[in-house]
Amino acid sequence: MYWNTLTVVALLGQSVRAQNMLRFGCSQLSIERADTLENPGVAPSPHTHQIVGGNSFNITMTPVTYDPSVQSTCTSCTYSEDFGNYWTASLYFQSPDNGTFQRVPQMANGGLTQNGGLTVYYMPYSAKNNKMTAFPPGFRMKAGEPTATTDNRVSICHRCLGNGEGFAPCDAKNIGPFPDKYCPQGIRASIIL
């Protein structure tokens, strides 16, 4: 498959104006304590992820030598030709009353029907760059650092839904940290690679 130089945006609950891009929803494949980029081969990983995409995802996947797009036989994504994997950190709500944790449900944009999941966008990084390239076998990308303590709104941002969303990911209506107020229609998280 050939793509423009891309920005991958995994968005939860956003609509975007029609443009030169590919958009598809993915259902949850698994929710696991697994992270083959940050903690390869570590079982369990120190944190949980919602994993979507190709059914060959496993804890022992190593970049270049293991290519999910070749090993997978099916996908949880609506774009049936995409056997790659996408994963996002699971979010938890901690009760202020008793300190217990509950996993926050994740979902794709409205109108895309699947179990949990997320929406994947492939968009040109620049309108000036028309060079077409293919991802090499075993290609991996990541956004953010699990131990980061500073705002990185360039690659990960959040928007309180129900307060005039707009269209652009990670624009002035977004913030790096989680919203500190009630969001009437949930929180949209954008992860840009």
**What span, in angstroms and rounded, lies between the C-alpha atoms of 193 and 178?**
19
Does the residue 31 lie in any domain? yes
The pLDDT-based confidence of 42 (bands split at 50, 70, 90) is: confident
Backbone phi, psi, residue 83, to 5°: -100, 5
**What span, in angstroms and rounded, lies between the C-alpha atoms of 162 and 178?**
15
The pLDDT-based confidence of 22 (bands split at 50, 70, 90) is: confident
From 122, 91, 99, select the one nearest 10 (Cα to Cα): 122
Does the residue 168 lie in any domain? no
Does the residue 22 lie in any domain? yes
Does the residue 129 lie in any domain? yes
> CB count, 10 Å around CB of 109?
18
Does the residue 160 lie in any domain? no
Beta bridge partners of 75: 54
Structural domains in the chain (count) = 1
- Domain containing residue 88: 1-150
Residues 6 or more apart whose Cβ sits within 8 Å of residue 107: 12, 13, 116, 117, 118
What's the DSSP call for residue 180?
Answer: S
The pLDDT-based confidence of 152 (bands split at 50, 70, 90) is: low
Long-range Cβ contacts of 140-149 (<8 Å, 24+ apart): 140/37, 140/63, 141/8, 141/193, 142/37, 142/38, 142/193, 143/191, 143/192, 143/193, 144/191, 146/35, 146/38, 146/46, 146/47, 146/89
- Look at residue 167 in the predicted model and tell me its pLDDT: 53
pLDDT in tens, 102-144: 888 887 766 555 567 888 887 766 656 666 677 777 778 877 7
15 and 167 Cβ atoms separated by less than 8 Å: yes
Does the residue 191 lie in any domain? no
From 148, 131, 166, select the one nearest 89 (Cα to Cα): 148
- Look at residue 46 in the predicted model and tell me its pLDDT: 87
Residue 50 reports pLDDT greater than 80: yes
- Look at residue 11 in the predicted model and tell me its pLDDT: 34
Burial class (CB in 10 A: 0-12, 13-18, 19+), 129: exposed
pTM given for the model = 0.73
Does the residue 102 lie in any domain? yes
